[in-house]
Amino acid sequence: MHVPRATILIAIASLPAAPAARAQETVRASLRGVVVAAETGERVSYALIALDPGGERFADSTGAFVYTALAPGKYHVRLRQVGYAPFDTTLVIGTATPPMRFELKHIALEVAAVTVRTSSECASTDTTEARTASSQVFVQLSQNAERYRVLADRYPFSYLVTRRFEDLRGNGMAHVHTDTLRYDSNARHPYAPGDVVRPDPDVSTGNAKVVRLPTLPDFADAAFQRFHCFRLVGVETIEGHRMIRMDFVPSRRLQTPDVDGSAYLDTATFQVRYTRVRLTRVADAAEGVESWEALTKFADVVPSLFVVMLVRAETRLTPTSRDVVRRTEEQRLMQVLWLRARPGAHDSLP
């Protein structure tokens, strides 16, 4: 923090006084608000607020938020929280704007038991009710992605993970290697078609490849949505929990390896808990690879704000291509280190 040095004014009596210059005061305004559930009046913790102009931030644990040092004028306000319908409004904010109360409505959605269907290039013959349900779940998935992006960018953090590799050979013998890595939340590589499989930057010889696993913010990215079709499947049980499953498949326009898979949302909160991603066009990706699949599990770092807790990837190789027939990599979260500020009791970041 830079502390301004004190300025000492020295009056010299023998010189004539100059006319005093009148400082021009800058008029500032502020917006204080609280987010509540429309049905019950209960506070909505950590809702995402976007003020345009003004930036994005989370409400605190009591649903309160504040923007200061604003220029008086008209602003667009967006409020988002998973499990609630999006809310948008326009406000005129002045120097005496009173604290405001914003109400979010819970979404009511019944999702049937899992029934896997196929469709061509996003075409659907579902009923209007089914299409509405699919659209609502897609909005919730996008809100999860947007919240994760804001958390990673506005409240940057590093996370320490333990990494474990296991190579299983055709004779049943296994080789295990472990290490520890540190990642930065805002050091991301956005999805780009044709760029999912790349040469391994850590291996200087041979033909080693890596799969650039899509992260949760990619699901809300315009490029990912443009090249993938999303479809609501139904409800499945994972690790004893009922989850809403939404599938995504790459467009038939893509002629390069890409990813398909599923996102699993909690039936009560609509928060993403798991993603499952598979590599497509495997034969074009790397010689001797039969399949590649990764499971990602998320956990709360504060209520309704989550980070990656576990990533487990498995590569299956053709038995004739090499000694190793299966390779697994598991990354497990050890610690989260906040680099600037933690979403908490009072978010007053500029």
Q: What is the pLDDT along the chain (350 residues), one digit of tens a residue?
A: 443 333 333 333 343 444 555 545 577 899 999 999 999 999 999 999 999 998 899 999 999 999 998 999 999 999 999 999 999 999 999 988 899 999 999 998 777 655 545 445 565 556 666 677 788 899 999 999 999 999 999 899 999 999 999 999 888 889 999 999 999 998 878 899 999 988 877 665 567 788 888 888 999 899 999 999 999 999 999 989 999 999 999 998 889 999 999 999 999 999 999 999 999 999 888 888 899 999 999 999 888 899 999 999 999 988 765 588 899 999 999 999 998 877 764 544 44
Which pTM does this prediction carry? Answer: 0.83
Distance CA 317, CA 287 (A): 9
Distance CA 122, CA 129 (A): 17
Distance CA 26, CA 22 (A): 13
Domains of the chain: residue spans and CATH: 27-107 (2.60.40.1120), 152-338 (2.50.20)
Strand order in the sheet with 29-37: 64-70, 29-37, 100-104
Three-state secondary structure of the chain: CCCCCCCCCCCCCCCCCCCCCCCCCCCCEEEEEEEEECCCCCECCCCEEEEECCEEEECCCCCEEEEEEECCEEEEEEEECCCECCEEEEEEECCCCCCEEEEECECCCCCCECCCCCCCCCCCCCCHHHHHHHHHHHHHHHHHHHHHHHHHHHCCEEEEEEEEEEEEECCCCEEEEEEEEEEECCCCCCCCCCCCEEECCCCCCCCCEEECCCCHHHHHCHHHHHCEEEEEEEEEEECCEEEEEEEEEECCCCCCCCEEEEEEEECCCCCEEEEEEEECCHHHHCCCEEEEEEEEEEEEEECCEEEEEEEEEEEEECCCCCCEEEEEEEEEEEEEEECCCCCCCCCCCC
CB of 302 within 8 A of CB of 267?
no
Distances (CA, A) of 285 to 205, 318, 329: 17, 14, 18
CB of 77 within 8 A of CB of 101?
no
Residue 112 phi, psi (nearest 5): -70, 170
* Nearest to 82, CA basis, from 323, 332, 300, 334: 300
- State the number of CA atoms in the 13 A half-sphere of 38 facing the CB: 12
